[in-house]
Amino acid sequence: MRFAQVSRPTVAVVFAAIAGAIVGGLLLASPLAQWQGTSNESAPASSELAVFPFETADGRKLTLKAFSDKAVLLNLWATWCPPCRKEMPSLDRLQSLKGGTDFEVVALSIDKGGTEQVQPFFEEIGIKRLEMYLDQPGVSMQALKIVGLPTTLLVGKDGRELARWVGPKEWDDPETVKEIEALLARSEGD
C-alpha cells in the first residue's frame, strides 16, 4: 500500500485549521450554552435594556418605555420559526391569565412582511388577547443581543431585564407562571 506524500507545511495548515475550529467552537458555544434550553438565567441587577423602536399593527411607534408602569414578558418571534409558532397560543393564554394593569405579554414579531404576514397567522391559530407588535426594521435582536428565536425576556417595572429564556416554553403552565411571579416578587423586593 502506498501513501501519498504530504508536505510538512500542508500538515501544519490542516492541523492549525482543525485546532482553530475546535477552539473557536468552544469559545462560541460557551456563552451561547448559558442561554440554551428553556431554563432561565437571571440578568445582572444593572441590566437595563437598550432602547429600540417598534410599532403596533396600526403603525403607532413605541419603545418598551411605553410599558414602564408594567412588568413585561417580551417575546421575540417570527411566523417562519416553528418553535415560535408552537408557543404562541400559550403566550396568548398567559396574557389572558396575567395581563392587565401590572403585566403585559409583548410578542414582538421580527417578520419583514409586517401586519400582512402576522395578521393571517394570528387568525390561523386563534390569537385573541395579544396585541400585534412589529419590528420590521429588525433592530430588536441586535439591540438585545439575541442569537436565536424564540427568545423571551422578563422585564421588571423598572425597565431592567430580570430573566431570559431561549427556546419555546409553555408560558401558561402553572410552574412557569409561578416562576414568573417569583422573579417579579423578588425584583420588587430589591
Q: What is the pLDDT of residues 54-98, one digit of tens each?
A: 999 999 999 999 999 999 999 999 999 999 999 999 999 999 999
Q: What was the pLDDT predicted at 188?
A: 87
Cα 69 from chain centroid (whole Å): 21
Residues 6+ apart with CB under 8 A from 42: 162, 163, 183
Q: What is the pLDDT of residues 144-168, one digit of tens each?
A: 999 999 999 999 999 999 999 999 9
Q: What was the pLDDT predicted at 9?
A: 57
User: Distance of CA 98 to CAs 7, 90, 156, 180, 181, Å?
Assistant: 67, 12, 14, 10, 10
Does residue 23 surpass a pLDDT of 50? no
Burial 97-133 (b: 16+ CB within 10 A, else e): ebbeeebbbbbbbbbeebbebbeebbeeeebeebebb
Q: What is the pLDDT of residues 103-141, one digit of tens each?
A: 999 999 999 999 999 999 999 999 999 999 999 999 999
The amino acid at 186: R
CATH domain 37-189 topology: Glutaredoxin (3.40.30)
Question: Which residues sit opposite 75 in a β-bridge?
Answer: 107, 152
Indicate the domain borders of the chain. Answer: 37-189
pLDDT band at 29 (very low <50, low <70, confident <90, very high): very low
Question: Which residues sit opposite 163 in a β-bridge?
Answer: 42, 154
**Are 120 and 85 in contact, with CB atoms under 8 Å apart?**
no
Measure the CA angle with vertex 181, ends 89 and 62; round to 5°: 60
* C-alpha torsion sign, points 182, 183, 188, 190: positive
The backbone torsions φ and ψ at residue 99, rounded to the nearest 5 degrees and listed phi first, read -60, 145
Cell numbers placing 105: 405579554
Residues 6+ apart with CB under 8 A from 184: 71, 103, 154, 156, 162
CA atoms within 13 A on the CB side of 51: 7
Q: What was the pLDDT predicted at 1?
A: 53
Q: What was the pLDDT predicted at 27?
A: 35
Global pTM reads 0.77
